[in-house]
Amino acid sequence: MRIVERSLEDILVLKTERHTDARGWFMEIYSEQALADIGIRFRAVQDNCSESLRRGTVRGLHFQVPPHAQAKLLRCTRGSVLQIAVDIRRGSPNYGKASCIRLYEDDDLLVYIPKGYAQGTAALEDGSQYTYKVDYPYMSAEAYNGGISCLYDREQLDWEKLLPDTRLIMSDRDRNGLCRTLDELDSGFVYGE
């Protein structure tokens, strides 16, 4: 496993190694030691899978507040997705900036998103699926969950460019129940802490 790209300083795109022979292929997609060897301290405690039936389905941008914050390790397993992360650490030089990384089922890439980012995905084609591991369990209580609308800043997320001629599909909570601007957001994350 190796780092092939950095986005917004801390978001890392990792390339896994696929071993192919006449039978098919094998790939190690999670190894705590392999991650530590490239400088990432990440111990998964939960593994999640999400499928979006239609192109344009957007999930997020979500996070859990400290001390229940989650780092994530995400991989596309079918179709293609746009992985989105927004820096929500007050005082960060990248505060409010978005990272958008396209992932495909056969690219052998993982994206590591550390704590301090709101995270979401958008399906780039029908039937897209992704899995993600987290290093802290999901806390269902509303007080532990936060988010900003994926419509928060057209300069950062210009959906006409990201998904041209596509109607966005999202839950009512994601469309109306999350903060619409960063000024409304008190994430609890501070850069450097």
Domains in the chain: ranges and CATH: 44-184 (2.60.120.10)
Question: What local confidence, expressed as pLDDT, does residue 178 receive?
Answer: 82
Sign, Cα dihedral of 148, 115, 37, 39: positive
Question: Quick check: is 117 catalytic?
Answer: no
Question: What local confidence, expressed as pLDDT, does residue 140 receive?
Answer: 85
Angle at 65 between CA 59 and CA 70, to 5 degrees: 65
> Which residue in 112, 117, 132, 152 is the catalytic one?
132
**Residues 105-137: tens digit of each pLDDT:** 999 999 999 999 999 999 999 999 999 999 999
**Residues 6-32: tens digit of each pLDDT:** 999 899 999 999 999 999 999 999 999
Task: State the first-to-last Cα distance of the chain, in angstroms, to the nearest integer.
Answer: 28
Measured torsion, CA atoms of residues 87, 88, 91, 93, in degrees rounded to the nearest 10: 10
> Which residue in 30, 62, 95, 191 is the catalytic one?
62
Helix (H) or strand (E) holding 20: strand 18-21
Q: What is the pTM of this model?
A: 0.93
- pLDDT for residue 99 is more than 90: yes
With b for 16 or more beta-carbon neighbours within 10 A and e for fewer, the 72-104 pattern comes to bbbbbebbbbbbbbbbbbbebebbbbbbbbebe
Mean pLDDT lowest among 42-56, 78-92, 174-188? 174-188
Q: Which residues contact 73 (CB under 8 A, 6 or more apart)?
A: 30, 35, 42, 44, 110, 111, 112, 113, 132, 133, 134
Question: Quick check: is 68 catalytic?
Answer: no
Measured torsion, CA atoms of residues 55, 14, 18, 73, in degrees rounded to the nearest 10: -60
Contact 182, 152 (CB under 8 A): yes
Question: What local confidence, expressed as pLDDT, does residue 130 receive?
Answer: 98
> Which residue do the tokens 């000024």 mark?
183
- pLDDT for residue 177 is more than 80: no
Question: What local confidence, expressed as pLDDT, does residue 181 receive?
Answer: 84
